[in-house]
Amino acid sequence: MLDGAACRSLPRRIHDHRTGATHVAVQDPRTSLAEERLEKEIHDLLHALEHLKSSASRDTRNNYERLRDRAEGLLQHSRHRYHDTGHDLARHCRKISECAYDCVRSHPWSSLAVGVGAVALLGMLFARGRDR
């Protein structure tokens, strides 16, 4: 029976995939050992790259899900806030309109004078803007 070093020094058939030819080669045991180490390193590197790819994919998926959940939470918060703000604004506008209505009912002539003055002021501003 032959040991590992003796087996590596025996002639070996090498198939060239590019040309399709088969060659018989005798390798030096040191070269064969270096090739085996290189093949192992390449195999380990490929394994590490596969692990990195799956890890990166998993991390990306987790980050995407976390960002999506955060965006959904912010959207829900914004909707509630918009809803509350809309109700507050409507309530405030009703109060202002009630106050304006009460003021006009209490002082009709003064309200008419303020209205005419506001219209005159707007008319002057528009006329001035057209002249430029």
Work out the average pLDDT over 97-108. Answer: 91
Cβ atoms of 25 and 11 closer than 8 Å:
yes
Where do the domains of the chain lie? 4-117
Share of the chain above pLDDT 90, in %: 27
Query: What one-letter code names the amino acid at 123?
Result: G
**Which pLDDT score, from 0 to 100, does residue 43 have?**
87
pTM over 0.85: no
Cβ atoms of 14 and 25 closer than 8 Å:
yes
**Which pLDDT score, from 0 to 100, does residue 31 have?**
67
Alpha-carbon gap, residue 42 to 119, rounded angstroms: 85
Q: Is 86 left (phi over 0), alpha (psi -120 to 50) or beta?
A: alpha
Structure tokens at 57: 């994919």
Note the Cα 72 to chain centre separation in Å.
13
pLDDT in tens, 41-90: 888 888 888 888 888 888 888 888 888 899 999 999 998 888 889 899 99
**Which pLDDT score, from 0 to 100, does residue 32 have?**
76
The residues near 111 (Cβ < 8 Å, ≥ 6 apart) are: 103, 104
Average pLDDT, the chain: 81
Angle at 51 between CA 48 and CA 53, to 5 degrees: 110
